[in-house]
């Protein structure tokens, strides 16, 4: 059955479909608003935790900590651990190939020792990422401070008649 006799052509059917579509769009907008609210809450907490930090600094912290958050999530942690394990295994193969005789027993022992080192390497990687994040934030703050200080010096010099 097609045409005006088909129930899918009825106004009620069309209106119910549009209502469903509008409800889905409203849900999507609500979810987006919740995400934005959560982000703003995080920014407000970050700004109030440090007292005199500005919203710009809090936003830069949010951006710089993205990789650190990615490592903390399940997939990121698994990917990093697999990469570290493969690096340990390839290092073991290269070490034993440099020896006079290639021995799979040595490869397995070296791989086992490398696998024991993976959690330590992971902790070291997290430490390096955390230090890099702190350094990046500190450099960003230093840059902002230098720009503000330079602007103040230029204004004072301009007011006092100094020409550059």
Residue 89, pLDDT score: 67
43 lies in some domain: yes
In a domain, 8, yes or no: yes
Q: Is residue 23 part of a domain?
A: yes
**The three-state (H, E, C) secondary structure of the chain, written as one string:** CCCCCCHHHCHHHHHHHHHHHHHHHHHHHHHHHHHHHHHHHHHHHHHHHHCCCCHHHHHHHHHHCHHHHHHHCHHHHHHHHHHHHHHHHHHHHHHHHHCCCCCHHHHHHHHHHHHHHHHHHHHHHHHHHHHHHHHHHHHHHHHHHHHHHHHHHHHHHHHCCCCC
pLDDT at 136: 85
pLDDT at 17: 73
Q: Is residue 164 part of a domain?
A: no
pTM for this model (two decimals) = 0.33
Number of structural domains found in the chain: 1
What is the domain extent for residue 44? 1-64
| Per-residue model confidence (pLDDT) at position 24 | 85
The verdict on residue 40 lying in a domain is yes
Kindly state whether residue 118 falls inside one of the protein's structural domains: no
* Residue 114 belongs to some domain of the structure: no
Distance separating the N- and C-terminal Cα atoms of the chain? 85
Asked if residues 56 and 141 have their Cβ atoms less than 8 Å apart, the reply is no
Q: Is residue 80 part of a domain?
A: no
For the chain (164 residues), the mean pLDDT of every run of 10, in chain order, is: 60 72 84 84 71 54 58 66 70 61 68 71 78 85 88 83 70
């Amino acid at each position: 059955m097609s045409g005006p006799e088909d129930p899918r052509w009825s106004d009620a059917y069309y209106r119910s479909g549009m209502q469903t579509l509008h409800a889905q769009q409203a849900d999507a907008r609500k979810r987006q608003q919740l995400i934005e609210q959560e982000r703003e809450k995080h920014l407000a907490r970050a700004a109030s935790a440090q007292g005199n930090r500005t919203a710009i600094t809090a936003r830069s912290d949010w951006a710089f900590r993205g990789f650190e958050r990615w490592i903390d999530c399940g997939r990121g942690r698994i990917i990093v651990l697999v990469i570290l394990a493969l690096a340990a295994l390839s290092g073991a193969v290269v070490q034993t190939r440099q020896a006079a005789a290639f021995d799979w027993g040595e490869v397995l022992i070296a791989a086992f020792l490398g696998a024991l080192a993976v959690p330590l390497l992971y902790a070291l990687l997290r430490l390096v990422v955390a230090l890099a994040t702190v350094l990046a934030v500190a450099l960003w703050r230093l840059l902002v401070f230098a720009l503000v200080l330079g602007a103040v010096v230029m204004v004072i010099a301009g007011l006092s008649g100094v020409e550059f």
